[in-house]
Amino acid sequence: MTSLSGRLAPGALADLLQYLALSRASGCLLLRHPQRRHAYVYLENGRVAFVDARPLYDVAALSELLGWQDGRFAFRAGIPAPRRTIDMATDALLLEATRRADEPALSSVDPDAVLTAVNGEPAPPRRP
């Protein structure tokens, strides 16, 4: 498989990752959301090796991506992962990402906290 592209619909990303796993594909899956967001899912021999959806990575990023209801995707074979941070079967990874997506909103990432941690600035006061 050298390339694959199409439109994302609800549930399509999980199906696509399972297809790539069964195909033992290696390369990069680029995801584009209509609101100018993008993400990269790198696979090696059908296993997800790294997920980059800044500011989120790996399981947290995949959990977020599974919630996308719209967008486009393109898979390009032969593009290596910049690093390997995930070592689990794709089906187990999808189960973990889905479980995390179903957790209550209290555990969600606070974007202000992430930005202040990256910039080294004190966190702004929380609004009630």
Q: What percentage of the chain exceeds 70 in pLDDT?
A: 79
- 122: helix, strand or coil: coil
pLDDT in tens, 12-65: 999 999 999 999 999 999 999 999 999 999 999 999 999 999 999 999 999 999
**What's the confidence (pLDDT) of residue 106?**
43
Q: Stretch 63-91: mean pLDDT, rounded?
A: 95
SS3 content of the chain, % helix, strand, coil (to 5): 35, 25, 40
Which residues have a Cβ under 8 Å from the Cβ of 3 and sit 6 or more positions away? 74, 75, 76, 77
The conformation of residue 105, written as its DSSP 8-state character, comes to G
Name the nearest CA neighbour of 67 among 106, 119, 10.
Answer: 10
Q: For residues 86 and 125, which has the higher predicted lDDT (pLDDT)? A: 86
Q: What is the mean pLDDT of the chain?
A: 87
Q: Where are the alpha helices (DSSP H) in 1-128?
A: 12-22, 58-65, 90-101, 111-119
CB 69 within 8 A of CB 13: no
